[in-house]
Structure 1
Amino acid sequence: MSHTALLIIGVGGFGRSVAEAAMLSGKWGCVDFVDDSYPHQQLPAGYNVIGHSADLPKFLSKYTGVVVAIGNNQVRSEKLASLAKLGAPIVNIYHPRAFVSEQAEVGLGTMVMAGAIIGAHAQIGLGCILNPNAVADHDSIMEDYSHLGVGAVMAGTSVLKTGAWLRAGVALTYGDVVPERLIVEPVRFTELKSHV
């Protein structure tokens, strides 16, 4: 096994996207998965699922990094808390085409996907997700386990409280605050058509 081996918790679509980002970054020599559907999941060739999350204590010593790639904020927070208790080496994953300001603060377990931007002096908590083309602009705050969907935008000084989620395409303006665990949905295309 490579000395830069990454273990990803969750082998769904987001987990596989995180694996791609990790490999493209050039920082990981090998990527394996743990998933609670093991051994029943059906996957494309090339994905190595080594076990169930209950088996993590047996596996962790083989890996130099671990990340929880599960979109559900509550589940991700629980899995990360369990990993912390086990002393797991929790890491961040940055797609090579993401931009993260050197002046930003980013907590462990955060995943920043292709085209996403973290601006100057932004504060990103533990276990956050910034999906492709999401923006957390200057001085914005993403508290622990918060989540930006594809193309979601936080203007400067806006805040996502713990576990909040902006779904794809939602935008906050300056100073907006989203309460804890609130999921903010976009206006859907089908709703727009009904008013035409």
Structure 2
Amino acid sequence: MFDLIIVGAGGFGRELFAMLGDVFSSDEYRFKGFLAQEDPRALEKWQIHHPVLAAPEDYEPEPDDRFLLAIGAMNARQATTAAIQSKGGEFISFIHPQAFVASTAEIGAGAVIYPFATVSNSAKLGPNVHLNYYASIGHDCQVGPLCLLAPYATLNGFVTLEDQVYISTHGTVAPGCTMKRNSKLSANSACMRDAAESMFVFGVPGRQVPRMDS
């Protein structure tokens, strides 16, 4: 029996908690609680009667613990996973049965793939990638660690995202384009050419400016 721990107790964490039973058998997994900065009883107002065990950086993983990443802020995603993994913590994947993942796709450890997301043929996802509702990864895409695709975000074929790239809702990356590390595509925007590291891409076709929040 493994103990599931959700890292993050905001909206993302609450969404993931509501779907645990769709993916994990109660014969193999039991839910232990959340890791977050919030008060230990902060989730009771949402009718979630499970504790916040500790802040992620303070928690000491136990042998049967398995972690699910549920943090949307990109800098916090990286720092939090590093803190837990440095103590031997293991992230596992959540792939909802209503998502489509091609048999030839490769999914890194700790991926979180929501209902109705798509991962097409020969796509490769690195560790701790998150695909929200209806996000779509086209054929032969390469998606680096800790990337996050918001609802309805779309990568066309042969796109490359380096690590910690954020694609906002209804953002689209054109076929064959590369978005470098820590870049971000705005909502309802289209990245039509390669984006350099830490760039913010917005509009149609996408204009690029250095990120001010990185």
User: Shorter-chain TM-score category?
Assistant: 0.7 to 0.9
Query: Which residue, 17, 36, 57 being the options, matches 1:54?
Result: 57
Task: Please list every run of 5 or more consecutive structure 1 residues that lacks an aligned counterpart in the other structure.
Answer: 188-196
Query: Which residue, 161, 171, 174 being the options, matches 1:142?
Result: 161
Given the alignment of the two structures, is residue 27 of structure 1 paired with residue 24 of structure 2, yes or no? Answer: yes
2-structure distance, mates of 1:22, 1:160: 32
1:150-190: CA deviation from partner (whole Å, max 9, x where unpaired): 221112112221122223222212xx122222333559xxx
1:1-196 aligned at under 5 Å gives the runs 3=1, 5-20=3-18, 22-24=20-22, 26-27=23-24, 29=26, 30-31=30-31, 32-39=33-40, 41=42, 43-46=45-48, 48=50, 49-57=52-60, 59-64=61-66, 66-90=67-91, 91-173=110-192, 176-185=193-202
1-structure distance, mates of 2:143, 2:118: 13
Q: 1:46 to 1:16 in 2, by over 3 A?
A: same
2-structure distance, mates of 1:126, 1:162: 10
Q: What SS is found at the alignment partner of 1:33?
A: strand
Indicate conservation of the 8 Å contact 2:154/2:173, yes or no: yes
- Superposition deviation, residue 117 in structure 1: 0.7
Q: What SS is found at the alignment partner of 2:5?
A: strand
Bigger share in helix: 1
- Superposition deviation, residue 71 in structure 1: 2.1
Q: 2:107: which partner in 1?
A: none
1:27 counterpart letter in structure 2: F
Q: 1:82 to 1:97 in 2, by over 3 A?
A: same
- Superposition deviation, residue 103 in structure 1: 0.6
More divergent stretch after superposition (125-134 vs 66-75): 66-75
Indicate conservation of the 8 Å contact 1:165/1:183, yes or no: yes
Q: What SS is found at the alignment partner of 1:8?
A: strand
Give the TM-score of the pair, scaled to structure 1.
Answer: 0.78
Q: 1:19 to 1:127 in 2, by over 3 A?
A: farther
Higher relative contact order (CA 8 A, sep 6+): 1
2-structure distance, mates of 1:47, 1:122: 40
- Superposition deviation, residue 70 in structure 1: 2.1
Indicate conservation of the 8 Å contact 2:2/2:64, yes or no: no
Give the TM-score of the pair, scaled to structure 2.
Answer: 0.73
Q: 1:39 to 1:186 in 2, by over 3 A?
A: farther
